[in-house]
Amino acid sequence: MRLFLFLFLGLILGPSFLEIGFPKIANQAASICSHLFLLTAGMELSFKKMGQQLLPAAKLSIGAFVFPFLAGLIAAMVILRDTPLAGPETYIFVALALAISALPVAIQILKDLKLYHSDLGRLIIATATLCDILAWVFFALILPAESMKSWFATHLSLVFFFLGLALSDSPFPSEKFRERLELLNTWIFGPVFFISIGWKLNLWQNLDWSQVAVVFILASVSKYGGSYWTARQLGFSKQRSALIGLTLNSRGAVEIIISNLALQQGLISEKIFATLVILAIATSLIPGPASKLLKLRNE
């Protein structure tokens, strides 16, 4: 959530408000910070930490990932069919954007509810982790590349992410180094990266509220509904299934990061990017208060 404040700061500095030109000298710094931010993000995911929850998480991801992915794919083919960027890669990316879950948001919600170390909490974390990994794998496959050199250029950010993922369960680097890297990620890599994203975006010029409303409703209904239905099939109570649906419906910084990469590679327009930014923020702000109300109502 803190990263959204830096995104807002960038929006204020950029064409959305003050119209201060983005300094060209900062482009390289923002690029380096984005790579290191993704390296750290990859290191936070872990197959090992899923443990015994991997199989039930895979089952739950049918509702948490597959349902919103299919809903997003169908919607993209209808909404974007007459746009210049209409094509299979764009449709698939929009579907991925609806299927993502924000792991940091899920962790914070579970900690606030004192469920982080419970079996339910571990299942939700494992499912959110699996959804994110699936999204990054599919994204890597749809990025365009005409040669090995261009493949490396277009996939460089993903190389850093998957390098971090490979290191997540490794004894290297040391715990002390990881803590320092996380500190740098919190105060330098993340802020610089998100400020640069907001600074380059003309929100008002590219904001289509009708598109935002359609995408938000579709994303929330398919993600929450799919997660809730699958959880019920797995034997969870209505209350726990609702909590699973609310928590996994958040998309957070992960969606903004992957959408920014898609924008840079020409997979989506700035209009779609603006819609996905609003979706990421809105779906991250709602689950926390809603989950607390759900718990109070059922106590």
- Per-domain boundaries in the chain: 2-11+25-297
Alpha-carbon gap, residue 223 to 215, rounded angstroms? 12
- Tens of pLDDT along 34-92? 889 889 888 888 777 777 788 899 999 999 999 999 999 998 998 887 777 778 889 99
CB 141 within 8 A of CB 16: no
CB 135 within 8 A of CB 251: no
Distance of CA 280 to the CA centre of its chain: 7
CB 46 within 8 A of CB 129: yes
164's tokens: 């971090």
pLDDT interval class at 148 (50, 70, 90) = low
Span of 65-74, 87-96, 169-178, 199-208 with lowest mean pLDDT = 169-178
Other C-beta atoms closer than 10 Å to the C-beta of 153 total 11
Calculate the dihedral angle through the C-alpha atoms of 293, 296, 297, 299, rounding to the nearest 10 degrees: 160
201: left (phi over 0), alpha (psi -120 to 50) or beta: beta
Question: pTM to 2 decimals?
Answer: 0.88
Predicted pLDDT at 65: 96
Average pLDDT over residues 29-36: 89
């680097």: which residue's tokens? 173
């509220």: which residue's tokens? 209
pLDDT interval class at 14 (50, 70, 90) = very high
CA 116 to each of CA 36, 55, 173: distance values in angstroms, whole numbers, following the listed order: 27, 19, 26
Average pLDDT over residues 92-111: 89
140's tokens: 């890597």
Predicted pLDDT at 51: 73
Predicted pLDDT at 170: 85
CA 213 to each of CA 22, 219, 276: distance values in angstroms, whole numbers, following the listed order: 30, 10, 11
Alpha-carbon gap, residue 68 to 97, rounded angstroms? 9
Predicted pLDDT at 299: 47
- Tens of pLDDT along 215-236? 999 999 999 999 999 999 999 9
Predicted pLDDT at 233: 95
**pLDDT of 297 above 90:** no
CATH of region 2-11+25-297: 1.20.1530.20
Average pLDDT over residues 86-111: 88
